[in-house]
Chains A and B, each alone.
Chain A
Amino acid sequence: MSPVTIPEVEHAYPGSTGCPGCGANLVMRYLLKGLGERTILTIPACCWAVMPGYWPSHCLKVPMVYCAFEATGASLSGMRAALDMKGVEDVTVVGFAGDGGTVDIGLQALSGAAERETDALYVMYDNEAYMNTGIQRSGATPWGAWTATTPVGPSRDYKREPKKDIMSIMEAHGIPYAATVSVAHPEDFVKKAKKAKDVRGFKFIHALSPCPPGWKMNPMKTVEVARLAVDTNVFPLYEIENGRVRITKKGKGLPIKDYLSIQRRFGHLTEEEVKRMQESVDSSFKALEQREAREG
């Protein structure tokens, strides 16, 4: 018996121009395995705007439209409306944007699409900075991280602001389905993508997408670091269905140091600072667990 646990069909060709070990490539691969070929993507400026390949080549087997950086939400509403006019109902419209194009630049269009209750799926692949343009900090960069615009150096100017909580922002819009996914748990990922496809209304998926050049780590560690993010509760896997939270994959509860130590972007942190991060992760994970117990 074959131990293959995710669909074998591929919706992308090899030859994409993503970096070796790119997490965003895995996000797209698992997402399309879950959604199937009846999918249309709209992609703003982000890593995936350059990753499909040099013109006239393209690595995806599904149609894809490039839109302006801030316009993913508007673009997917327009595509849904056009399909509705044509009477096409079996196609999933997907907005696929990076963290900068979601939590910073694309936030108003995203909020508008959620408010209009557009029947579409929005996927944010979160590599925690503007990686495509050279690792500048974004609203999704975590506290303590080095980036090109938060250089450490002798004055230790690492990022001093916490990561924007996009899941809470999206939940506040009252959307029917929101979930977090990780490239280290493809089965969970594919299951959530399939689920999101069948829900009517606006759906949101937050995918953690490790970036070897931006996180300053060995490309072979991409999946390992994504697994550690779940096991240290830095990035818990859960879904919010009609306002009820369910943790879908319990982490091992390892110390956050295990996650930080493979990434050189956190290499400058002192033990005191790591302890502070651990406390912050512990308290937010506890709040999530308590909420699950209350609602479950």
Chain B
Amino acid sequence: MSRSYEDIPLTPISDTPSTMNMTGLWRVFRPVVDLDKCKKCTLCWKFCPDAAIVLVDGKPKIDLRYCKGCGICANECLAECIIMVKEEAE
């Protein structure tokens, strides 16, 4: 017996990119990059769990809408050019 997809019961399907989740709101510590000290090692980009860092000419640009402030970039940076600063209530 051949059945079509129309016979399958209704199933919830996700159809929206997760970019609607502003996970940057969770952040307690904010990464601050001193671009002058950056040696373009790209380790911050490589180890960001949330893919919230893009490279612009080899240097990091952190998307604060999604950065959760874990601090892995600051911990791994060879040039120590990223520091974590506590977020303050606005």
Interface residues of A (CB under 8 A from B): 2-6, 8, 10, 12-23, 25-26, 29, 52-59, 183, 186, 212, 218-224
Q: Is the CB of A57 within 8 A of B23?
A: no
B residues within 8 A CB of A58?
14-18
Q: Is the CB of B18 within 8 A of A16?
A: yes
Inter-chain CB contacts under 8 Å: number: 118
Q: Is the CB of B51 within 8 A of A29?
A: yes
CB of B79 closer than 8 Å to a CB of A? no
Q: Is the CB of A55 within 8 A of B49?
A: no
* B52-80 contacts to A (CB < 8 Å): 52, 55, 58, 63, 65-66, 68-72, 74-76
B residues within 8 A CB of A14?
18-19, 23, 50-52, 63, 65-66
CB of B35 closer than 8 Å to a CB of A? no
Question: Would you list the 10 A-B pairs with minimal beta carbon distance, nearest first?
Answer: A220-B71, A21-B70, A15-B18, A58-B14, A14-B66, A59-B18, A25-B49, A20-B70, A20-B68, A15-B21
Q: Is the CB of A57 within 8 A of B17?
A: yes
A residues within 8 A CB of B46?
4-6, 186
B residues within 8 A CB of A10?
51
CB of B41 closer than 8 Å to a CB of A? yes
Q: Is the CB of B68 within 8 A of A55?
A: no
A residues within 8 A CB of B74?
220
Identify the interface centre among B14, B49, B58: most chain A CB within 10 Å of its CB: B49
Q: Return the chain B residue nearest A218 by Cβ.
A: B71
What 1/0 mask marks residues of chain B from 30 to 60 whose CB sits below 8 Å from any chain A CB? 0000000000111001110111100100100
Q: Complex: how many Å from CA A160 to CA B79?
A: 42
A204 CB, min distance to chain B CBs, angstroms: 23
Interface residues of B (CB under 8 A from A): 12-23, 26-27, 40-42, 45-47, 49-52, 55, 58, 63, 65-66, 68-72, 74-76, 84
| Interface of chain B, main secondary structure | loop
Q: Is the CB of A57 within 8 A of B41?
A: no
Q: Complex: how many Å from CA A224 to CA B21?
A: 28
Q: Complex: how many Å from CA A53 to CA B63?
A: 18
B82 CB, min distance to chain A CBs, angstroms: 10
Q: Is the CB of A57 within 8 A of B14?
A: yes
A residues within 8 A CB of B65?
14
Q: Complex: how many Å from CA A124 to CA B49?
A: 18
A residues within 8 A CB of B70?
20-22, 212, 219-220, 222
A residues within 8 A CB of B50?
14-16, 18, 25
Q: Return the chain B residue nearest A23 by Cβ.
A: B49
Contact for A15 among B22, B27, B58, B71, CB less than 8 A? B22
Given the interface contacts A26-B49, A220-B75, does A20 sit within 8 Å of B15 by beta carbon? no
B residues within 8 A CB of A57?
14, 16-21
Q: Complex: how many Å from CA A224 to CA B50?
A: 17
A residues within 8 A CB of B26?
20
Given the interface contacts A3-B41, A13-B17, A53-B14, does A224 sit within 8 Å of B69 by beta carbon? no
Given the interface contacts A57-B20, A218-B71, A222-B72, does A18 sit within 8 Å of B51 by beta carbon? no
A residues within 8 A CB of B13?
56
